[in-house]
Amino acid sequence: MLNTKTLRYIILALMVVTVVITALLTDFLLADAKIGGGLYTRIVADKDLLADILPPPEYVLESYLTATRLMIAPDEIDAATAKLEKLKSDYEDRHAVWAASTHIEEEAKALMVGDVHSSAEDFFNDLNQHFLPAIRAGDTDKATTYYAELSKAYAEQRDAIDRVAAVALRTAAANEAEAIQVDRLALLWSLAGAGVMLLLAGSAVWYLTRLTFGPLDRITDSLSSGAEQSAIAADQVAQASQQLAEGASEAAAAVEETSSSLEQMSSMLHGTANNTVKAKALVSEAHSAAQSGAVTMGEMTSAMQSIAQSSAEVAKIVKSIDEIAFQTNILALNAAIEAARAGEAGAGFAVVADEVRSLAQRSSAAAHETAEKIEAAIMNSRNGSQSLVKLGESFAAIAEKVNQTDGLVNEIAQAAKEQSQGVEQIAAAIGQMGKVSTRNAGNAETTAGAAEELSAQAKEQMNLAEELRGVTGAGAPAKRRARIGSAPQAEWQAPRQLKDQQPARKALALAAGDADKHFKDQ
């Protein structure tokens, strides 16, 4: 007895053979009627023939109309001659094609080669040899006579063309009817092939159905066992989802606390950064002031040195004045002595000498007093210069300290910036953790729903197994029926517990979002 697998292969092979034979037969029947086939080619040739004879180039109608136009307007002879030569060339080209064609009916070809062509030759001969020369010569009488002969040749070709058209139409109708018959035959064979395939398929289904009831008991037991395993797995998945949701809730709380701490730290760092910027500005101002003071001290020192130098030169001048007063005093004394020797004659000179001596003494006293004051001014200038040098050194020390303070403030600002960047990175990590926790919570809820769906599918599988047992007439073992009866009563408490975790998920999402927003604002 054949088994199911072998029979399936045999039926498949028969179906393949049937399909192949049907396809080959259909292709054979349609080979003549399909595009490119002999019948199709003949139909196309008949239609092309009709297109060529109604109207030109194979039909001399346009040439006849051109000749008729010349009877009315003989002055158009040059243009008409060129046009008629072109029409004759087109006619000869198409006539050569149809004379060599093997796809049209013999009767139509005989007419094309015989009556149609002979009447066209008569027309073109009369046209070129008699009518056109008469028109060109302006001989109206001859032109009228030759035009009558052209009309006779045109009428003969028209009669032959009508006969060709009738033959072509009749042939096309016959070919189309033959194509329709072939299509119908192909359709019948296709239906017959499909019927055979359906018959084979029905026989296979009937036989396979008889063979199927045997393994149904084993399949039913397997379904029941799989349903029980699915129920157990769904319970385990629900418990894991509950634990995952609890972990997500705890992570939400931790993320919220960390976000709050980071917010405070960021505010402090922001304040420190602002104060550092202000301190840096003040230090820069102090540094500028110290540099300006140092420059001013240098200028004052130079001024004091100039004053001391000027005082020394003034002292030299005063000393010269003192020496001049001393010499003047001696001269005045000598003049007084000489005046005394002269007696009364030198009395007036003695008075003058006494006055000069008095002035010399006063000049000497003033010079001594001025020298003392200049000496005191030189001493004060020297002391002032020394003080200014010390003050300049102090300003230089202040400037150095200000430079060091500026460097420290820059280091503090850089450290504050790095700390702020570190806090931003931590905030980004916290935000990522929040997103991960949110996804975990969502996955836990999804998993719980999947567990519930898995439980429902397990119950459905159990029901299907029972229905299969009813079909096959087999009964389930008592122990398995007890397990099946108790499994659906769980009703999955875990998914309902997971619903209580929704506030935690919302808090987690809000914390992560607030942290990201805060540090982006900073």
Q: Do 130 and 149 touch, CB atoms closer than 8 A?
A: yes
pLDDT for 56? 60
pLDDT over 70 (residue 502): no
- CA distance to 133, 160, 252, per residue, from 138 (Å): 8, 33, 113
Contact 133, 146 (CB under 8 A): no
Tokens found for residue 458: 């397990």
Q: What is the pLDDT of residue 298?
A: 76
| Residue, of 223 and 329, whose pLDDT is higher | 329
Mean pLDDT in residue range 177-190: 78
Q: Which residue has the tokens 């009831």?
A: 213
* 503: pLDDT strictly greater than 60: no
Lowest mean pLDDT of 26-35, 334-343, 484-493, name the range: 484-493
Q: Answer for the pair 364, 325: CB distance below 8 angstroms, yes or no.
A: yes
Cis peptide before 56 (omega within 30 of 0): no
The dihedral built from the CA positions of residue 492, 494, 497 and 501, taken in this order, carries a sign that is negative
Q: For residue range 99-111, what is the model confidence (pLDDT) as tens digits?
A: 888 888 888 888 8
Average of per-residue pLDDT across 210-217:
62
Query: How would CATH label the architecture of 222-521?
Result: Orthogonal Bundle (1.10)
Structure confidence at residue 134 (pLDDT) = 92
Q: Decide: 366 and 307 in contact? Cβ < 8 Å.
A: no
Q: How far apart are CA 253 and CA 247, in angstroms?
A: 10
**Mean pLDDT of all residues in 38-52:** 65
Residue 366's pLDDT band, with cuts at 50, 70 and 90, is: confident
C-beta of residue 308 within 8 angstroms of C-beta of residue 382: yes
Please give the average per-residue pLDDT across 443-462, as a whole number: 78
Q: Enter the DSSP assignment of 488.
A: G
pLDDT classification of 85: cutoffs 50, 70, 90: very high
- Between the CA of residue 444 and those of 231, 233, 448, 494, 513, what are the distances in Å? 18, 15, 6, 10, 21
3-state SS class at 58:
coil
- Residue 75 pLDDT > 60: yes
The alpha-carbon radius of gyration of the chain (Å, integer) is 66
- 3-state SS, one letter per residue, for 375-405: HHHHHHHHHHHHHHHHHHHHHHHHHHHHHHH
Model confidence at 498: pLDDT above 50: no
Size of the chain in residues: 522
Residue 174 pLDDT grade (very low, low, confident, very high; cuts 50, 70, 90)? confident
pLDDT, mean of residues 253-270: 77
Please determine, for residue 428, whether its predicted confidence score (pLDDT) is greater than 70: yes
> What Å distances lie between residue 128 and 13, 365, 512, CA to CA?
75, 157, 101
Domain spans of the chain, in order of start? 4-214, 222-521
Give the mean model confidence (pLDDT) for residues 155-177: 88
**pLDDT of 145 above 90:** yes
Cis peptide before 57 (omega within 30 of 0): yes
Q: Is the pLDDT of residue 492 over 50?
A: no
What does the pLDDT average to over 315-344?
82
Question: How far apart are the C-alpha atoms of 410 and 489, rounded to whole Å?
Answer: 72
Report the pLDDT value the prediction gives residue 489, as an integer from 0 to 100.
Answer: 44
Give 268-300 pLDDT, tens digit per residue: 877 777 887 787 788 788 778 777 877 887 777
Predicted confidence band of residue 374 (pLDDT cuts 50, 70, 90):
confident
Amino acid at 434: G
Helix (H, G, I), strand (E, B) or coil at 104: coil
In whole angstroms, give the CA distance from residue 495 to residue 175. Answer: 75
Give the model confidence (pLDDT) of 473-490 as tens digits.
555 554 454 454 444 444
Residue of 408, 407, 398, 413 whose CA lies nearest to 288: 398
pLDDT score at 159? 92
Q: What is the pTM of this model?
A: 0.35
Q: Is the pLDDT of residue 94 over 70?
A: yes
Q: Which amino acid is at 387?
A: S
Cα angle, residue 254 at apex, residues 251 and 256 outer, rounded to 5°: 110
Q: Tell me the C-alpha distance between 433 and 440, whole Å.
A: 10
Q: Distance from first CA to last CA of the chain, Å, rounded?
A: 84
In this structure, what are the phi and psi dihedrals at residue 73, rounded to the nearest 5 degrees? -125, 80
Which pLDDT score, from 0 to 100, does residue 332 have? 78
